[in-house]
């Protein structure tokens, strides 16, 4: 474990390493421009590639130190024994199998944490899904389908089929309702008694009873409150005995930055926010009711 002062020292070292590399690239470019402008472009590109490819050991050391001190330490303090892996996350297969989200052709996931909170096993990870394409003119475009946190909790009740609830502003949710979806996996839209809830959310279920069983008037109020307090667009899915909560906030939290002063404090605040969110999710959805 590093002290805050030691972490700040590491950040400064990594930052100076970064600027040294930038300086070298600029120097090569300036030297080459004297010879030929074309060579300058070539040189600059080569420099950028070298900067990106050759690992900066100081930066890695700093990132590892922050994640170990701020992320692992805080999660352990809150939940006891936890499994933390900054480089790994949920697999593409895992997210794809939920059938909750459209999958593009780019996928990455990191900052995996799993543990037990109030007797409820949970896991969370940051997930990024995008779809890249290029037209006949060679113009490429990328649409981000999801960027945010994905949380999975053990669900204490048993439903006969899948249930999905998402805000209407949550784009790229997969509804699994078309004729091309296998009948066993097909969901249909449910309209509840609460008109306001119907206006704001889409409820998809394989069985009407499941939707009305989970979405009691009290639970609908809770979901609405939970969404209002969330920092992004919300979706939940109950698949088997698992509750999936996805919040699309276009952020990758808990990431250190070389350019932020007092970076560790910011990362700590983000970790505290993640911990509070896990606790709130368990409380709001009564996941610990039978523990």
Partner 1 sequence: MSPVVIVICVVLLIIVGWIILTINGIRRMQVKISEAEADIDVALNKRFDVLTKMLDVAKSYLGEERDIILKSIQMRAAMTLAQKGATGAAMENAQKQLLAVGESYPQPGSTNQFKQLQIAIMDTEEHLQAARRVYNSNISRYNQMCVSFPNSLVAAIIGASRREFFKIDESKRQDVDMKF
Binding residues among 213-242 for partner 1 as defined by CB under 8 A: 213, 216
CA distance 152 to 221: 21
Residue 267 tokens, joined: 């990362």
The reply to whether 208 sits near partner 1 by the rule CB under 8 A is yes
The reply on whether position 183 binds partner 1 by CB under 8 A is no
Encoded one letter per residue, x for contact with partner 1 by CB under 8 A and - for no contact, window 119-148 reads: ------------------------------
157 binds partner 1 (CB under 8 A): yes
Q: Which residue has the tokens 């936890």?
A: 82
Q: Given the rule CB under 8 A, which of 68-76, 131-139, 188-196, 243-251 is the region that contacts partner 1?
A: 188-196
For residues 145 and 246, the answer to whether their CB atoms sit within 8 Å is no
38 near partner 1, judged by CB under 8 A: no
C-beta closer to partner 1: residue 111 or 210? 210
Give the range of 113-121, 186-194, 248-256, 257-265 binding partner 1 by CB under 8 A: 186-194
Decide whether 19 or 191 has the Cβ nearer to partner 1: 191
Least spacing, CB of residue 190 vs partner 1, in Å: 9
In sequence order, the 6+-apart residues with CB closer than 8 A to the CB of 57 are: none
Binding segment toward partner 1, per CB under 8 A, in 54-62, 99-107, 144-152, 211-219: 211-219
The 3-state DSSP class for residue 215 equals: coil
Residue 121 C-alpha from the chain's centroid: 19
For the chain, what's the residue count? 291
The bridge status of strand 120-134 relative to strand 106-117 is: antiparallel
Edge-to-edge strands of the sheet including 106-117? 83-85, 106-117, 120-134, 140-154, 242-248, 233-239, 163-167, 201-205, 188-190
Under rule CB under 8 A, residue 39 binds partner 1: no
Interface with partner 1, residue 290, by CB under 8 A: yes
Among 181, 212, 280, 283, binds partner 1 (CB under 8 A): 212
CA distance 2 to 216: 48
Q: Verify binding: residue 192, partner 1, rule CB under 8 A.
A: yes
Cβ nearer to partner 1, comparing 94 with 213: 213
- Residues 174, 102 contacting (CB under 8 angstroms): yes
Query: Segment near partner 1 (CB under 8 A), from 45-53, 136-144, 181-189, 212-220?
Result: 212-220
With beta carbons less than 8 A apart as the criterion, state whether 117 and 278 touch: yes
Closest separation in Å from C-beta 213 to partner 1: 4
Name the residue among 138, 4, 23 with its Cα closest to residue 65. 4
Q: Which residues bind partner 1 (CB under 8 A)?
A: 157, 191-193, 208-209, 212-213, 216, 290
């Amino acid at each position: 474990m590093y002290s805050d002062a030691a972490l700040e020292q590491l950040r400064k070292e990594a930052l100076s390493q970064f600027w040294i590399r930038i300086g070298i690239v600029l120097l090569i470019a300036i030297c080459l421009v004297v010879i030929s402008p074309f060579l300058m472009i070539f040189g600059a590109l080569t420099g950028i590639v070298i900067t990106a490819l050759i690992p900066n050991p100081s930066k890695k050391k700093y990132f590892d130190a922050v994640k170990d001190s701020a992320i692992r330490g805080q999660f352990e303090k809150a939940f006891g024994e936890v499994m933390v892996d900054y480089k790994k996350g949920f697999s593409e297969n895992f997210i794809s199998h939920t059938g909750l989200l459209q999958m593009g052709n780019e996928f990455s996931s990191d900052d995996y944490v799993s543990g037990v909170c109030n007797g409820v096993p949970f896991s969370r990870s940051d997930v990024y899904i995008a779809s890249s394409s290029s037209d006949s003119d060679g113009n490429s475009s990328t649409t981000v389908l999801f960027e945010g946190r994905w949380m999975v909790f053990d669900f204490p009740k048993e439903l006969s089929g899948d249930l999905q609830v998402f805000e209407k502003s949550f784009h790229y949710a997969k509804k699994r309702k078309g004729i091309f979806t296998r009948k066993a996996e097909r969901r249909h839209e449910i309209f509840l008694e609460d008109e306001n809830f119907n206006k704001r959310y889409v409820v998809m279920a394989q069985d009407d009873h499941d939707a009305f069983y989970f979405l009691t008037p009290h639970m609908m109020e809770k979901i609405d409150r939970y969404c209002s307090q969330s920092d992004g667009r919300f979706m939940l899915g109950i698949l088997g005995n698992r509750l999936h909560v996805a919040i699309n906030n276009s952020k990758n939290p808990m990431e250190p930055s070389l350019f932020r002063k007092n970076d560790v404090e910011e990362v700590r605040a983000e970790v505290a926010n993640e911990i509070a969110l896990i606790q709130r999710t368990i409380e709001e959805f009564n996941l610990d009711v039978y523990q």
